[in-house]
Amino acid sequence: MDQVDLEMPRGDTAVFDVVIKDSEQKTINLSGGTLKFTARAKSGDTATVLSKSSPGSGIIFTDAVNGVAALTIDPADTEGLYAPCTLVYDFEFTAPAGAVTTVLPAGVLYILRDITHS
């Protein structure tokens, strides 16, 4: 899987436009499905640091047919984290028929230190 790293200052609003693909790099039609974003301190951890999902909880499909979604991370999601820090993340897509697949992108979310909230 290809890795896509994201970065944002702690305590800020960040919007990431992502194109969701399968393991063969083919764009997934998101119509009628749901998408979940999960970030953890490290791979294998059971504790979730940050979670977002569609519909209505931080992920919206901006062009579902072409696999485009917008992930929004709110200030409250990161302002309590020690920064700088790194989280690992992935996306999981549930198709309308119920099949669940971990999809691309996946990678590292860098939470940068900010001066205002230091």
Residue 73: CB atoms within 10 Å: 21
Q: For strand 6-9 and strand 100-112, is the pairing parallel, antiparallel, or unpaired?
A: parallel
Give the mean model confidence (pLDDT) for residues 73-84. 93
Identify the residue with better confidence: 3 or 75: 75
State the Cα–Cα distance between residues 48 and 91, nearest whole angstrom.
13
The domains found in the chain, sorted by start residue, are: 6-112 (2.60.40.10)
Contacts (Cβ under 8 Å, ≥6 apart) of 99: none
Predicted confidence (pLDDT) per residue in 22-70, tens digit: 989 999 999 999 999 999 999 989 999 999 999 989 999 999 999 999 9
State the Cα–Cα distance between residues 21 and 110, nearest whole angstrom.
22
- What is the value of pTM for the model shown? 0.92
| Residue 56 pLDDT | 87
Q: Based on C-alpha coordinates, what's the Rg of the chain?
A: 14
pLDDT over threshold 70, residue 79: yes
User: Given pLDDT bands bounded at 50, 70 and 90, which one contains residue 118?
Assistant: low
